[in-house]
Amino acid sequence: MSFTTTLTYALPHRYLSSLARRLAYSQHPGTRRWLINTVVQRFGVDLSEAANPDPASYASFNAFFTRALREGARVPDPDPRALVMPADGHISQCGPIEAGRIFQAKGQSFTVAELLGDAKDAEPFLDGSFATVYLSPRDYHRVHMPWTGTLRETVHVPGRLFSVGTAAVSKVPRLFARNERLVCHFDTDFGPMVQVMVGALLVSGVETVWSGEEIPAYGDRIQRKDWRGQGITLQRFEEMARFNYGSTVIVLLPRGVAELEPSLHAESPVRLGQRLATRTAD
């Protein structure tokens, strides 16, 4: 095991993420300005796409990091059969779920049941398909709906907060099934669909459009929330949630409902709204 990988295990994940949270929400002018300018310059953030392109006007680094896009900066694929990409970033992996396992990287994989925190919840997806999208610090950090769905349940699965960068993903076994995450179950006209918001080192929170902040508070047991009957329906391409720092979203689809866009592969750069898959089932 390399020194970097050993350090990944040894780091105080939650302490560092709590510290990052305090910094991200700080409204101290010097702290706010330094954090925003550092990210803009180091990662080449394109502020011309932001609804508010003035970095000095944001009240905190978190307000800047979760900034909205200007109208028209992203548009959904015009084909009504297209399931759309939920976020900007790049594909970590995508493809079929084989024997209930999701490919991670370099021989690493994990089960759908491990990811969702429940074997029964995993059953509709055991031979379906998946797409894992990594959002880097330069990207737009709001996650949208690939397809119209009605929220059924959310499951907060506590865990570690490993980095989700390429190096960690290739070396840490079952990383996405070990990190803290929010599993969002939707009912659609083709059946169930899941979007998993995976936390990561220095991710100070996940917020949803229906209930606000979901992570933290950090917990030590799985917590389920039943949203059935509350009429929370989100349209294709509509905003669903946001990361308060960069991380990963995983989309799960049942077998036979859609075919993943064949041009997508590991490390493909992607943009919100482009074609993720094409609907095949009525």
Selecting among 144, 156, 163, 204, the annotated active-site residue is 144
Whether residue 151 is predicted with pLDDT greater than 90 in this model: the reply is: yes
207 within 8 A of 242, measured Cβ to Cβ: yes
Residues whose CB falls within 8 Å of the CB of residue 5, separated by 6 or more in sequence, listed in order:
168, 171, 172
Residue 197's pLDDT is 94
Residue pLDDT, tens place only, 165-218: 777 888 888 988 888 899 999 999 999 999 999 987 766 578 899 998 886 555
Q: How far is CA 280 from the centre of its chain?
A: 25
- Written as one string, the DSSP assignment of the chain is --HHHHHHHHS-HHHHHHHHHHHHH---HHHHHHHHHHHHHHHT--GGGBSS--GGG-SSHHHHHTPPBPTTSS---S-TTEEEP-SSEEEEEEEE-BTTEEEEETTEEEEHHHHHT-HHHHGGGTTSEEEEEEPPTTS--EEE-SS-EEEEEEEEE--B----SHHHHHHSTTGGGTB-EEEEEEEETTEEEEEEEE--TT---EEETTTEEEE-S--SS-EEEE-TTS--EE-TT-EEEEESS--EEEEEE-TTSEEE-TT--TT-EE-TTSEEEEE---
State mean pLDDT over 136-158.
94
Token representation of residue 13: 């994940």
Token representation of residue 81: 């059969």
Residue pLDDT, tens place only, 90-115: 999 999 999 999 998 877 899 999 99
Residue 23's pLDDT is 73
Average pLDDT over the chain reads 89
Residues whose CB falls within 8 Å of the CB of residue 235, separated by 6 or more in sequence, listed in order:
145, 148
Active site residue 265: no
Active site residue 79: no
Selecting among 17, 60, 77, 88, the annotated active-site residue is 88
Nearest alpha carbon to residue 255 among 190, 166, 164: 190
Question: What separation in angstroms does the CA of 113 have from each of 126, 176, 214, 222, 249?
Answer: 9, 12, 21, 13, 16
Active site residue 88: yes
Nearest alpha carbon to residue 276 among 255, 253, 260, 256: 260
pTM score: 0.91
Residue 243's pLDDT is 85
**Reported confidence tier of residue 17, pLDDT bands at 50, 70, 90:** low
Residue pLDDT, tens place only, 67-85: 999 999 999 999 999 999 9
